[in-house]
Chain A
Amino acid sequence: MGRAANSNADDYIRMYKQMVRIRTFEDNANQLYLDTKMPGLTHMYSGQEAVAVGICEALEKTDYITSTHRGHGHCVAKGAQFKEMFCELLGKAEGYCRGKGGSMHIADQENGNLGANAIVGGSMGIATGAALSAKRLGKDHVTVCFFGDGATAQGLLYEVMNMAALWNLPVIYACENNLYGEYTKVEETAAGSITARAKAFGIEAHVVDGQDVLAVNSLTQKLVARARKGEGPFFVELMTYRYHGHHVGDINRTYYRSKEEEAEWKDKRDPITNFGAWLAKEKIVNANDLEAMGAEIKADAAAAVTYALDAAYPPLDEVDSHIFAV
């Protein structure tokens, strides 16, 4: 059911564009914060694009994801549009959640995004429940549960992995190990091996280079196909890196990680630069094509930001609507 990315240039180009869209979205969101035009704060996904894109490109629109506080990348990768996303970040009525959720709660149900979550690990039950729902209702939807290395310390993960394994649920637990939970190294918070924890429940677990979109996509396609046949659940640890701090205001971070380390990941392991170079080497596109794609996406983002800045706030009488569903 997943798209045949490995044999199709269009799929490669779409994956490249989706990664650039995420990076561009984040650059704009960061600028809105720096310009004090965005209420609150936000958490940048930059650096981790190959994870969201590699996974979501292996999913159908009807498949579900649950996301995290660092969720813009998942949202874009699952099919969301810039305009509604920027409106949401700015608390405007045309946002995906009518401005009620903001950066940490974007949900885009039409594209299968059951929502970002501001409680670390908070969506693990939701993802597992979506998988139970699909299985019970005889649908072949697969659910991917995104969470970070920090969330592996939450007990909920082990409760729901136990049930997912007992009941063979079509869920893939995608642990984005970006090496830091907030301001603390993963070595200081995670004992032993992360994948060994999934294996303890009899869940097949993989480690993959989260900076290599093709590696992520290829593995995910196989796992999604198997999950649809009832062979789930699965666990994937994706080794990746966040370029910004924990949130946009986390500027001075040398006390927990070095500038040399950051430069190393950005210069040598950037998922977009490396995939672009590969596309050029394989003569699927040339450097000019890549530049043109980037420019078009930048223009789209700029137009969406302008639109969102000018867009209306929700009417004040919406403050107490949507408490209960009809």
Chain B
Amino acid sequence: MREITLSQAVNEAIAEEMRRDDTIFLLGEDVAEAGTPFKILSRLVEEFGTDRIIDTPIAEPGFAGIAVGAAMTGSRPIVDLMFGDFLFLVMDQLCNQAAKAHYMSGGKLNVPMVLRTNMGATRRSAAQHSQSLHALVAHIPGLKVAMPSSAYEAKGLLKSAIRDNNPVVIFEDKLMYQDKAPVPEEEFLIPLGEANVKRDGTDITLVAISSMVQVAEEAVDRLSAEGLSAEIIDPRTIVPLDEETILKSVMKTGRVMIIDEGHQSFGVSAEIAARIAEKAFYHLDAPVLRMGAMDVPIPFSPVLEDLTVPTADRVFELARQAIQGEI
């Protein structure tokens, strides 16, 4: 199978969907000729024109709100939010307006919009360009939240998100834009709410979100070298969450660690851990473990920043201790 980058996968997904459906348009800062700072959207404007690939002023609440209204009235907008950290700027439009319109109207108004943004530290971008804020939006009923872990997921999830009749927020790990993965030439969709069993294993389950799947894979290779077997579950979307696949795996292995790049406290790892504790407690042979980003603003200095995120070394060590009864 051909391999393409995550960036190309996103570009392809948008182009394919826009060819299929005229009501789709995309708006955000520097999305047209510039194709975003990460060049993810390069050349889309050449095919679809500035009428459908719309450069906006630097006004995140404004263009997010415009997308909500467009979505209510027959369009299917895709919002490009240049950095996930800018979510704080659009919270009213996303959480008070988009998320609630369908419910508050008793099902009359739909908001079929996608908000694409990113996450991920270690790009030496400091505290306002490095956050992983998916837990914030996952907390709000009415928003779906997708967390692609490779180019394949990025394409399949984005296409499903564009076709969904609800607001969907997609977090792409900005450090993965140039990572390649096998992606079929022919069309495919990945349903929202279906986890992927990335690796089969027997001694521990690693629930890994977004780029943490790569971290988990590296850790699992090292565990294998020591004769230990770990299963990796990639939830792919955290709302809806495929609880069944996670619980099934935990009941098989009896041990679990959740790995997520959001801040650990009050985060997605806490939610998944709580559900496991409630629903699979009697199947556990070890405490439910989790590893998130440190509860600090992401520092600039590389030596400090590298301490804040989960690493394969730390995942390996904690998983090994759990399996060998040292915790």
Chain A interface residues (CB < 8 Å from chain B): 64, 66, 95-101, 105, 107, 109, 114-115, 117, 119, 122-134, 136-137, 139, 141, 143, 155-156, 159-160, 162-163, 166, 321-326
* B102 at interface by CB-CB < 8 Å: yes
* B263 at interface by CB-CB < 8 Å: no
Say whether B165 contacts A326, CB under 8 Å.
yes
A276 to chain B, nearest CB (A): 35
Say whether B97 contacts A137, CB under 8 Å.
no
Give the CA-CA distance A326 to B163 in the complex, in Å: 11
Task: Name A138's closest neighbour in chain B (CB-CB).
Answer: B22
Task: Name A121's closest neighbour in chain B (CB-CB).
Answer: B92
Say whether A322 contacts B102, CB under 8 Å.
yes
Task: Name A117's closest neighbour in chain B (CB-CB).
Answer: B97
Q: Binary interface profile of B, 1-42, with partner A (CB < 8 Å = 1, else 0)?
A: 000000000000000000000010100000000000000000
Number of residues from B at the complex interface, CB < 8 A: 44
Task: Name B61's closest neighbour in chain A (CB-CB).
Answer: A156
Q: Binary interface profile of B, 159-187, with partner A (CB < 8 Å = 1, else 0)?
A: 00000011000000000000000000000
Instruction: Give the A-B pair count, Cβ closer than 8 A.
Output: 155
B87 to chain A, nearest CB (A): 16
Task: Name A324's closest neighbour in chain B (CB-CB).
Answer: B166
Contacts of A64 in B (CB 8 A): 73
Out of A127, A131, A163, name the residue touching B57 (CB < 8 Å). A163
Would you give 11 A-B contacts (Cβ < 8 Å), ordered by A?
Answer: A96-B105, A96-B108, A105-B105, A119-B96, A125-B67, A125-B68, A129-B65, A132-B69, A132-B70, A133-B72, A160-B59
In addition to A98-B106, A100-B104, 10 A-B residue pairs with Cβ atoms within 8 Å of each other are: A109-B105, A125-B67, A126-B68, A129-B67, A129-B69, A129-B73, A136-B52, A137-B23, A137-B74, A324-B165
A86 to chain B, nearest CB (A): 15
Contacts of A324 in B (CB 8 A): 102, 142, 144, 165-166
Give the CA-CA distance A159 to B27 in the complex, in Å: 14
Say whether A115 contacts B105, CB under 8 Å.
yes
Say whether B65 contacts A128, CB under 8 Å.
yes
Give the CA-CA distance A141 to B93 in the complex, in Å: 23
Contacts of B142 in A (CB 8 A): 323-324
A311 to chain B, nearest CB (A): 14
Say whether A155 contacts B108, CB under 8 Å.
no
Out of A97, A122, A133, A141, name the residue touching B106 (CB < 8 Å). A97
* B109 at interface by CB-CB < 8 Å: yes
Give the CA-CA distance A19 to B215 in the complex, in Å: 65
Contacts of B83 in A (CB 8 A): none
Contacts of B293 in A (CB 8 A): none
Q: Binary interface profile of B, 38-75, with partner A (CB < 8 Å = 1, else 0)?
A: 00000000000001100011010111111111111111
A68 to chain B, nearest CB (A): 14
Say whether A119 contacts B71, CB under 8 Å.
no
Give the CA-CA distance A22 to B166 in the complex, in Å: 34
Give the CA-CA distance A143 to B108 in the complex, in Å: 18
Task: Name A139's closest neighbour in chain B (CB-CB).
Answer: B74
Say whether B73 contacts A134, CB under 8 Å.
yes
Q: Given A130-B73, A133-B74, A136-B75, answer yes or no on A125-B102 (Cβ-Cβ < 8 Å).
A: no
Say whether A126 contacts B97, CB under 8 Å.
yes
Q: Given A114-B72, A160-B62, answer yes or no on A101-B107 (Cβ-Cβ < 8 Å).
A: no
Q: Given A130-B72, A163-B57, A323-B142, answer yes or no on A115-B62 (Cβ-Cβ < 8 Å).
A: no
Contacts of A129 in B (CB 8 A): 65-73, 75, 77
Say whether B165 contacts A133, CB under 8 Å.
no
Task: Name A95's closest neighbour in chain B (CB-CB).
Answer: B106
Top 7 A-B pairs ranked by shortest CB distance?
A: A125-B65, A129-B69, A159-B62, A98-B106, A126-B69, A97-B106, A159-B59
Say whether B106 contacts A136, CB under 8 Å.
no
Say whether A126 contacts B72, CB under 8 Å.
yes
Contacts of B56 in A (CB 8 A): 163
Give the CA-CA distance A160 to B141 in the complex, in Å: 26
B86 to chain A, nearest CB (A): 13
Contacts of A166 in B (CB 8 A): 57
Give the CA-CA distance A101 to B166 in the complex, in Å: 18
Contacts of A155 in B (CB 8 A): 61
Give the CA-CA distance A125 to B62 in the complex, in Å: 6
Q: Given A119-B92, A324-B102, answer yes or no on A128-B108 (Cβ-Cβ < 8 Å).
A: no
* B103 at interface by CB-CB < 8 Å: yes
Give the CA-CA distance A122 to B64 in the complex, in Å: 12
Say whether B106 contacts A162, CB under 8 Å.
no
Contacts of B52 in A (CB 8 A): 136
Say whether B108 contacts A107, CB under 8 Å.
yes
Say whether B70 contacts A97, CB under 8 Å.
no
Say whether A98 contacts B107, CB under 8 Å.
yes
Say whether A133 contacts B70, CB under 8 Å.
yes
B191 to chain A, nearest CB (A): 14
Out of A136, A139, A325, name the residue touching B102 (CB < 8 Å). A325
Give the CA-CA distance A173 to B146 in the complex, in Å: 36
A110 to chain B, nearest CB (A): 8
Task: Name B96's closest neighbour in chain A (CB-CB).
Answer: A119
Say whether B70 contacts A162, CB under 8 Å.
no
Task: Name A320's closest neighbour in chain B (CB-CB).
Answer: B141
List residues 101-123 of chain B with CB under 8 A from any CB of chain A: 101-112
Say whether A160 contacts B92, CB under 8 Å.
no
Say whether A323 contacts B102, CB under 8 Å.
yes
Give the CA-CA distance A66 to B65 in the complex, in Å: 12
Give the CA-CA distance A122 to B65 in the complex, in Å: 8
Task: Name A128's closest neighbour in chain B (CB-CB).
Answer: B66
